A and B are shown apart, each in its own frame.
Chain A
Amino acid sequence: MENSPNNNKVSVFRCQELLNVAMHDIILIGINHKTAPVELRECIAFSEDESASALQTLSRKPHIKELLLFSTCNRVEVLVVTENKREAIDSTKDYIAEVNKIPRQAFEDALYIHEGDEAVRHVFRVASSLDSMVVGEPQILGQVKDAYRLATEAKVSGVILNRLLHRTFFVAKRIRTETGIGGHAVSISYAAVELGRKIFGSLESKNVLLVGAGEMAELAVEHLIRNKVGDIYVANRTFENGVELARRFNGQALRFEEIADCLKVVDIIISSTGSPDFVITRDQVKGVIRIRRNRPIFFIDIAVPRDIDPQVNRLSNSYVYDIDDLQGVIDENIEDRQKEAIKGERIVDEAVIQFRDWSASLEVVPTIVALRNKLESIAETEIKKTLQSNKIPESDQ
Chain B
Amino acid sequence: MEILIIFTVLFYMLSTAAYFVFLFLQKNYTQRIGYFLILAGFLCHTANIVYCFVKYGHLPVSSFQETLSFAGWAVAGMFLVFQYKFNLKILGIFAAPMVTLIVVLATLVSGESYQTTKIFKNFWLISHVLAIFLGEAAFTLAAGLGVLYLIQENTIKTKKHRFFLKRLPSLDLLDSSGYACIVVGFTMLTLGLITGLVYAKSYWGRFWSWDPKEVWSGITWIFYAVLLHERLTVGWRGRKSAIMAIIGFGVLLFTFLGVNLLLGGHHGEFTK
Contacts and interface: CB of A to CB of B under 8 A. Distances in A.
B171 A198 contact: yes
A68 B233 CA distance: 66
Contacts, number: 52
Interface stretch (A69-77, A90-98, A316-324, A374-382): A316-324
Interface stretch (A231-239, A269-277, A293-301): A293-301
A184 interface: yes
Most buried by B among A198, A202, A293: A198
B141 to A, nearest CB: 19
A216 interface: no
Nearest to A292: B235
Given A319-B157, A321-B159, A325-B159, A198 B238 contact: no
B237 A198 contact: no
Nearest to B174: A201
A197 B156 CA distance: 12
Contacts of B170: 197-201
Contacts of B237: 293-295, 317
Contact of A296 (B166, B173, B238): B238
B234 interface: yes
B172 A199 contact: yes
A329 B171 CA distance: 18
A290 interface: yes
Nearest to B169: A201
B173 A317 contact: no
Contacts of B236: 294
Contacts of A197: 170
A313 interface: yes
Most buried by B among A293, A313, A325, A329: A293
B238 A317 contact: yes
B238 A201 contact: no
Contact of B234 (A199, A293, A296): A293
A201 B169 CA distance: 8
Interface residues of A, number: 23
Given A184-B166, A316-B238, A296 B172 contact: yes
A62 interface: no
Most buried by A among B166, B169, B234: B166
Given A198-B152, A198-B165, A321-B159, A296 B240 contact: no
B187 to A, nearest CB: 23
Contacts of A313: 157
A184 B167 CA distance: 12
Contacts of A321: 159
Interface string A181-217: 0001000000000010111111000000000000000
A332 interface: yes
Contacts of A295: 235, 237
A328 interface: yes
A112 B10 CA distance: 59
B162 interface: yes
A328 B159 contact: yes
B32 interface: no
A195 B238 contact: no
B60 to A, nearest CB: 40
Contacts of A317: 237-239
Nearest to A317: B238
Given A293-B237, A294-B234, A317-B238, 13 more contacts: A195-B156, A198-B165, A199-B156, A200-B170, A200-B171, A200-B172, A201-B173, A293-B234, A293-B235, A294-B236, A294-B237, A294-B238, A317-B237
Interface of A: 184, 195, 197-202, 290, 292-296, 313, 316-317, 319, 321, 325, 328-329, 332
Instruction: State the 10 A-B residue pairs at the shortest beta-carbon distance, nearest first.
Output: A293-B235, A201-B172, A201-B170, A294-B235, A317-B238, A294-B237, A201-B173, A325-B159, A199-B171, A316-B239
Interface of B: 152, 156-157, 159, 162, 165-166, 169-173, 234-240
